[in-house]
A and B are shown apart, each in its own frame.
Chain A
Amino acid sequence: MAEIVIRNLRKDFGDFTAVQSSSFKIEDGEFFMLLGPSGCGKTTTLRMIAGLELPTSGEIYIDGEEVGQRPASQRDIAFVFQMFALYPHMNVRKNISYPLVSQGMPKSQVAEKVAEVARILGITDILDRPVGGLSGGDRQRVALGRAIVRDPKAFMMDEPLGALDAEFREHMAEELRALHDRMGATTVYVTHDQLEAMQMGDKIVVMNHGVIEQFGTPQDIYDKPATMFVADFIGSPPMNFLRFHGEVHAGSSRVKMHHEELEVPRLMEPFEGDMVFGIRPEHITLSDSGSFRGEVMAAEYLGTTQIVTMKTPSGELKARIPSDQPVRAGEFAGLEFNGSTVTLFDNQSGRALRSELNEGVLAHG
C-alpha cells in the first residue's frame, strides 16, 4: 500500500493541454476520487499515475519513489478499465492469474491466490467459464479479481461502474467500497458522477478543463466550494447563484444585495464588483416573515422533501423544503437564507471569496 503524490503534473497532446500543472496528495489507504465532466483531464491524470501515458512535465511519487517516466509494468499498480478489458481469449481463471504469471510465480501458489480472490469476490463457480458469456457484474468482479490478486501498491479505476446498468451500479458501488474497506488499499477512482464520488470517496479532486478546481473531503467540497464550477457541478439540484453588483469589506458579515441586507459568514477579504451569492437549496426556507420575496414557479415532489423553483429579482433559485409545507405555483413567499452557509463568489473569475466558513479549505486548495 502506498501514498501517491502528484506534483505540477502536466500533459500536452500536441497543442491541446489535457492536464495543467496539477498537484495533490493521496494518503495511504485512501479512496480517492477524480471527478469532473468528460474531457476535463481526469482520465489522463489517472493514466499518467498508472504509467499508460507519460507526463509532459511534473513528478509522480508512489511510495516516495519518483515513477513519472517509468513504464506501467514497473509501477506495481492495478488498473480496472471502464470496459473491463478482460482478455477475451482466456477463461476467468486465466484472466485472474495472468498478472501473477508475469511475475513468474510458481503454479501451485498462483492457483492458491486465484482461489482466494475468487472466494472474496464470490466468483468461484465461474472460474472455468470463458469471459465472453459473463454478465456485466461478473465481468466487473473478474476485472477486480485481476486487480487485487497481485496485492499491488494502489488501484486505479477508470469509471468502473460506467458500463453497468443503474440498478446494478448501486450494488457494485457498495461492494467496491466494502472491498476497499477490507483491504485498505490506496484507490484512485475516476468518475463523472458526483453522487458516486460523494458516496464512495474519502477525498475528491474536482477537475475542469485540465485544471484542479478543488481538492478535499466530500463534505468540504459540498459545503465550502472553492469555485462556482464546483458549486454548480456538485449537488443536485446545484447551488443557487444570485448575481448582483456590490461591495464587501474584510471583517464584515453582511452584504447588501438589491437593497436587501443579507447575512453571510464573516469575510476575510474585501471585494467590489460583480458578485455571486451562492446558497444550497436546503439552506433556504420559505417563511412569510422573510423580506426577500419571490414567486413560486413550480414544485417537484420528492417524498420527504420537495424542490421549489422561485423567481426572484436576482434570478431564479431552487429551494429544498419539507414536502408537508404547502406551496402553490403563482404564490408569493418570503425567503430566508441560512447565512452561515453562504459562499460569495467573484463573478468574473468564479473564485470563492475567503470567509470564516471556507478559510481553512481554500488555504490548501
Chain B
Amino acid sequence: MSSYSITEPSSRQKWVAGTLVIAYAVITLLPLVWILTTGFKSPVDAIAYPPKVLFEPSLEGYVNLFTTRTRVSPEQLQALPPPATWYEEIVRNRDMVIAGPSRYGERFLNSVIIGFGSTFLSVFLGTLAAYAFSRFKVPLKDDLLFFILSTRMMPPIAVAIPIFLMFRTLGLSDTHLGMILLYTAVNISLAVWLLKGFIDEIPREYEEAALIDGYTRFQAFYKVVLPQAATGIASTAIFCLIFSWNEYAFAVLLTSGTAQTAPPFIPTIIGVGGQDWPAVAAGATLFLVPVMVFTILLRKHLLRGITFGAVRK
C-alpha cells in the first residue's frame, strides 16, 4: 500500500526515525544531566529518595570540590570573625571552616598537561609517520603498518604489569613525562592509520608543484600538505584527546602523587567527609568541559573527518 523510495522517506518513517533519535539522545544524555544537576544539589538532596527533580540549587558541591574543611565546635565558630566570602559562609553553615584548597585543581591541571601533551605528541609523530608511509618507499611498509596496528589488538591494560615494572625501572612512575609517553604509545597507532588515510587522499601533485616552485620537501609538507590534512589532523586529535583524557586504569596504576590525573582522583572525593556526591558530580562536570570545548571547536572537521578518510574513491 505504501511505496518505498530511497530518496524521500514518508512522513511516518520520518516520525519513527525522529522518535528513535530523540529516545536515544535522552537515554545517553540522561546520566550527564543527572551528574550536572547533582553537582548543584545539597548533600541531603543528592541522596534523597525518591530522587528530587526540583531542588534548591547550591554551590556547596563545587565549594567542597575545591576545598578541604575541618569541623569545629559551635563555640569556636562563634569566636571566628564573620565569613569574608560567600564560599566561607556555605562551609560555616555546616559547622566547618576551610582548612585549605583541595587537590582537584592540581589533578585537573595534570589531566590537561598529560591529555593535551600526549595528544599533541601523538598527532605530531603520527602525521610525520603517516606522511612517510603514504609518500615514501619504506622497506617492509605493509608489515610495519600491520605491526603498528597490532598494538591495538589487545586492551592496553593487558600489558599493565610489564609497563608498571618498566616504568619503575626507568623512573617514569608517577611522572608527567611517563604518562604522556604511555598515552602517546597507545594513541599513535590510531593516529598513523587515520592520518595515512587522509594523506593518501591528497594528490602528490600538490607537493610536486611546490617542489618545482622552489620549496624543499619539508616546506612542501608544511605549507601544502598540512593545510590539506587539517581535517584529518583535527579529527585524529579529538580521538586521541578523548582516550588520554578519560583513561582510568593506567592512571590508577601508575600515578599517585605528583602526576595523578583527574579520573582516579574524582572517586577519592567520596571518602573525604562522608559520601559527598555533589562534590563528585561537580568534579565530573568540570572534567567534561575541556573535551567538550575542544570537540565543539573542531566539530566542523569531525563529521567530515570520520567519513572522509575512510572511503576510497
Q: A residues bordering B, Cβ < 8 Å? A: 50-52, 71-73, 77-79, 81, 83, 85-89, 98-99, 102-103, 146, 150
> Which residues on A sit within 8 Å (CB–CB) of B147?
none
Between A and B, 18 residue pairs with Cβ closer than 8 Å are A51-B212, A52-B211, A52-B212, A71-B217, A72-B212, A73-B211, A73-B213, A81-B205, A81-B208, A83-B205, A85-B203, A85-B209, A86-B209, A88-B206, A89-B228, A98-B210, A102-B213, A150-B214
Asked whether any CB of chain A lies closer than 8 Å to the CB of B216, the reply is yes
In the assembled complex, the Cα of A87 lies from the Cα of B211 at a distance in Å of 12
Task: Assess whether B212 is in contact with A102, with CB atoms less than 8 Å apart.
Answer: no
CB distance from A132 to the nearest CB of B (A): 13
Query: Known contacts A87-B224, A88-B228, A89-B228: does B209 contact A81 (CB below 8 Å)?
Result: yes
CB distance from B302 to the nearest CB of A (A): 19
In the assembled complex, the Cα of A46 lies from the Cα of B155 at a distance in Å of 50
> Which residues on A sit within 8 Å (CB–CB) of B227?
89
Query: Known contacts A85-B203, A87-B224: does B208 contact A98 (CB below 8 Å)?
Result: no
In the assembled complex, the Cα of A103 lies from the Cα of B213 at a distance in Å of 9
Asked whether any CB of chain A lies closer than 8 Å to the CB of B215, the reply is yes
Other A-B pairs, 14, CB within 8 Å; known A77-B212, A86-B209, A99-B214? A51-B212, A71-B216, A79-B209, A81-B208, A81-B209, A85-B203, A85-B208, A87-B210, A87-B224, A102-B214, A102-B215, A102-B219, A103-B214, A146-B213
Q: B residues bordering A, Cβ < 8 Å? A: 203, 205-206, 208-217, 219, 224, 227-228
In the assembled complex, the Cα of A100 lies from the Cα of B234 at a distance in Å of 31
In the assembled complex, the Cα of A99 lies from the Cα of B220 at a distance in Å of 12
> Which residues on B sit within 8 Å (CB–CB) of A85?
203, 205-206, 208-209
Task: Assess whether A73 is in contact with B216, with CB atoms less than 8 Å apart.
Answer: yes
Among B205, B213, B224, B227, find the residue whose CB has the most chain A CB atoms closer than 10 A: B213
> Which residues on A sit within 8 Å (CB–CB) of B211?
51-52, 71-73
Task: Assess whether A72 is in contact with B208, with CB atoms less than 8 Å apart.
Answer: yes
Smallest CB gap from B211: residue in A: A72
In the assembled complex, the Cα of A72 lies from the Cα of B205 at a distance in Å of 13
> Which residues on B sit within 8 Å (CB–CB) of A79?
208-209, 212
CB distance from A97 to the nearest CB of B (A): 10
CB distance from A84 to the nearest CB of B (A): 8
> Which residues on A sit within 8 Å (CB–CB) of B217?
71
In the assembled complex, the Cα of A72 lies from the Cα of B209 at a distance in Å of 10
Query: Can you list the 9 inter-chain pairs with the closest CB atoms, starting with the nearest?
Result: A85-B205, A102-B214, A99-B213, A85-B209, A72-B211, A79-B212, A89-B227, A81-B205, A73-B214
In the assembled complex, the Cα of A21 lies from the Cα of B258 at a distance in Å of 66
> Which residues on B sit within 8 Å (CB–CB) of A150?
213-214
Smallest CB gap from B202: residue in A: A88
> Which residues on B sit within 8 Å (CB–CB) of A51?
211-212
CB distance from A50 to the nearest CB of B (A): 6
> Which residues on A sit within 8 Å (CB–CB) of B206?
85, 87-88
In the assembled complex, the Cα of A88 lies from the Cα of B219 at a distance in Å of 16
CB distance from B210 to the nearest CB of A (A): 8
In the assembled complex, the Cα of A86 lies from the Cα of B28 at a distance in Å of 45
In the assembled complex, the Cα of A21 lies from the Cα of B249 at a distance in Å of 62
Smallest CB gap from B227: residue in A: A89
In the assembled complex, the Cα of A81 lies from the Cα of B209 at a distance in Å of 8
Smallest CB gap from B213: residue in A: A99
CB distance from B216 to the nearest CB of A (A): 6
Smallest CB gap from B205: residue in A: A85
> Which residues on B sit within 8 Å (CB–CB) of A71?
211, 216-217
In the assembled complex, the Cα of A64 lies from the Cα of B208 at a distance in Å of 24
Task: Assess whether A73 is in contact with B212, with CB atoms less than 8 Å apart.
Answer: yes
Smallest CB gap from A158: residue in B: B205
CB distance from A77 to the nearest CB of B (A): 7
Among A71, A77, A78, A98, find the residue whose CB has the most chain B CB atoms closer than 10 A: A98
Task: Assess whether A52 is in contact with B208, with CB atoms less than 8 Å apart.
Answer: yes
In the assembled complex, the Cα of A242 lies from the Cα of B268 at a distance in Å of 95
In the assembled complex, the Cα of A78 lies from the Cα of B215 at a distance in Å of 12
Task: Assess whether A50 is in contact with B214, with CB atoms less than 8 Å apart.
Answer: no
CB distance from A106 to the nearest CB of B (A): 16
In the assembled complex, the Cα of A313 lies from the Cα of B228 at a distance in Å of 63
When the two chains form the complex, which single residue of B203, B205, B210, B212 contacts A78, counting CB atoms closer than 8 Å?
B212
Smallest CB gap from A88: residue in B: B228
In the assembled complex, the Cα of A103 lies from the Cα of B212 at a distance in Å of 12
Task: Assess whether B213 is in contact with A98, with CB atoms less than 8 Å apart.
Answer: yes
In the assembled complex, the Cα of A150 lies from the Cα of B209 at a distance in Å of 13
> Which residues on B sit within 8 Å (CB–CB) of A81?
205, 208-209
Smallest CB gap from B220: residue in A: A73
CB distance from A67 to the nearest CB of B (A): 13
